[in-house]
Amino acid sequence: MAPRADGRPDLPAVRERQSLREQVAHALRAALITGEMRPGMVYSAPALAAQFGVSATPVREAMLDLAKEGLVEAVRNKGFRVTELSERDLDELTELRRLIEVPTVSQLAGRPAGAGDAPSFEALRPQARAIVDAAERGDLLGYVDADIRFHLDLLALAGNSHLVEVVRDLRNRARLYGLSALHQRGGLVDSAREHLTLLDLLSAGDVSGAERLMREHIRHVRGIWASRPE
């Protein structure tokens, strides 16, 4: 999904059944996560509002919400600049995800299938298939949405809502800059199928296998981040 020749981002359509502010925030967040809105560039609320066909107020409010998440920063009298992340930032975010998600997945895999608190991994299989379907269609925004839902819902099975919120924040801050390049190389579907394999390992109670795959999956994500647009 390459930026338009005139430099304006190719933004997704806003959704119904949400407030206008929420719709705009969702669309902007998706564009930020995939790198459609480029790091370091400044975007004005009126210009974005014109693309959405709405007033500048909900766009400005949505951008302020994103600023609280660290995704953009306000630039006086100009608009909002997309936050840039250094290679060190990405390494540190990767390490935090590894420290949190790998042992959590290992813990989930180790729960006996017949135990009263045993998680139902099969309930997540439709989400895992949705990730693969989006990858096969080349629907990058759909891929990101399904991927985030899958990982957060998987971690939620551990019963720690604070852990889930921490990982949500980490994922929001580290946009998948190289997702489009991965799709063009034909590797997006393989990455998507790792989610189905992970569920197989979890359902089988394969602690070492699930832990190893989760570690590899996070490593692959760091590789995607390395393919940032120039």
Gap between the Cα atoms of 73 and 37, Å rounded: 13
- We find that the CATH architecture of domain 20-82 is Orthogonal Bundle (1.10)
Q: Where does the pLDDT of residue 175 fall: very low under 50, low under 70, confident under 90, or very high at 90 and above? A: low
Instruction: Let me know if domain 87-226 sits in CATH 1.20.120.530.
Output: yes
More confident residue, 119 or 161: 161
More confident residue, 220 or 127: 127
- For 195-207, what is each residue's pLDDT tens digit? 999 999 999 999 9
- For residue 80, what are the β-bridge partners? 43, 74
Q: Identify the pLDDT of residue 221.
A: 77
Residues 6 or more apart whose Cβ sits within 8 Å of residue 42? 75, 78, 79, 80, 81
Q: Where does the pLDDT of residue 183 fall: very low under 50, low under 70, confident under 90, or very high at 90 and above? A: low
User: In whole angstroms, how far apart are CA 217 and each of 40, 147, 206?
Assistant: 28, 12, 16
Ramachandran category for residue 7: left, alpha or beta (phi over 0 → left; psi -120 to 50 → alpha): left
Domains 20-82 and 87-226 agree in fold: no
For the chain, the domains span 20-82, 87-226
Token look-up 């959590």 returns 104
Q: Where does the pLDDT of residue 40 fall: very low under 50, low under 70, confident under 90, or very high at 90 and above? A: confident
Q: Identify the pLDDT of residue 173.
A: 75
| Confidence (pTM) | 0.75
Q: Where does the pLDDT of residue 229 fall: very low under 50, low under 70, confident under 90, or very high at 90 and above? A: very low
Gap between the Cα atoms of 48 and 27, Å rounded: 11
* Element housing 73 (H / E): strand 72-75
Please choose, from the candidates 186, 128, 110, 119, the residue with its C-alpha nearest in 3D space to the C-alpha of residue 155. 119
- For 76-130, what is each residue's pLDDT tens digit? 989 999 988 788 888 898 899 999 999 999 999 988 655 555 568 989 999 999 9
pLDDT greater than 60 at residue 15: no
Mean pLDDT of 135-161: 90
* Element housing 102 (H / E): helix 87-109
* Element housing 43 (H / E): strand 42-43
